[in-house]
Amino acid sequence: MQNGRTPTQLLCAAQIIMGVLAVAALPFFVGAWQAPGWNFVVWTIVGTVGYMLGQWTWFKAIKLVEGSRLASLYCLKIPVVGVLCAWVLDLQFSWSMIIGVGLAVAAAMLMNHRKGGGFSWAGMPFLALAIVCFASSDIGVSGMLQLLSAHGEGRCYAVGMVACICNIISGSVVAPFAKKLKCNWPVIVAAIPYALCYLFTLITIYVCFSVMEPVYVNVIVSTRGIFSLVLGVLVAKLGYTAVETKLSRKEWIQRGVAALIMFSAIIIYSYSKFQEV
């Protein structure tokens, strides 16, 4: 996007790439396909629409807020997923789990508390919408995986089938708009690294959803803020200050404390989950 390409162009190109890859992979999974019913269709719509809108709003937000801040604030998705799980999936949470979620959110806020330097409130509406969309997508994907598992399908099959379905639908939806959005061959080529990385991320998260409930997955994924911080520092040291601003010693200490709180949140939530077993 720093090269002048719009979020919509990159989203369109990435979805087309992932859709083509999903079509190529579909024959490996469709042979054992058994339609689980209308509930599966509903979860598919929620999961697919949620993550498509989430990607678009995320692209809009990242144009206005530096990456390390955005990745950390993304942890605010955890309580949103928790509310949706309690409401839609009827999951129950102990007080220790709620404390773990609260610590994860607190860590995200502490990691992003800084005066000036790359922060824009203009990006917050897009971030808020992205959080709600991605949280809804998590619930939808989890529902899809649960229904396939209920039909006795293996975990690898369920993950592969869900990944193929979601990406084929997404690619089919955006493909007709490629010409209008000027999503030409150079744009598609430029989007390949992002598309491959995002597809790999989707598959690994789907694997996690197949064995863990969505809130637990998001608590663990909250460490992305820490990794984003380290990568952001490296980017800033390389001179790309338009992407990331450099941190002072005080800010390093502050974010280090936030990282410890975040890891504590993961430990508390994980311990609570093991107590349930």
User: What confidence tens digit (pLDDT) does each residue in 15-33 have?
Assistant: 999 999 999 998 887 765 6
The C-alpha atoms of residue 107 and residue 128 are separated, in whole angstroms, by 18
Confidence of residue 275 (pLDDT cuts 50, 70, 90): low
What does the pLDDT read at residue 4? 47
User: Is-above-0.85 flag for pTM?
Assistant: no
**Model pLDDT for residues 166-223, shown as the tens digit of each residue:** 999 999 999 998 888 888 888 888 889 989 998 998 899 999 998 888 888 887 877 7
Q: Between these two residues, 277 and 158, which has the higher pLDDT value?
A: 158
DSSP letter assigned to residue 76: G
Q: What is the pLDDT of residues 238-258, one digit of tens each?
A: 766 555 556 677 877 887 788
The residue among 6, 3, 4, 23 whose CA lies nearest residue 170 is 23
What average pLDDT does the chain have? Answer: 81
Q: How confident is the model at residue 2 (pLDDT cuts 50, 70, 90)?
A: very low
**Helix residue spans in the chain (DSSP H):** 7-25, 27-30, 38-62, 67-73, 77-84, 95-111, 124-150, 155-174, 185-211, 214-221, 224-237, 249-276
Asked if residue 115 has pLDDT above 90, the reply is: no
Burial of 93 (0-12, 13-18, 19+ CB in 10 A): middle
Q: Which residue ranges make up each domain of the chain?
A: 1-65+120-211, 97-118+214-277
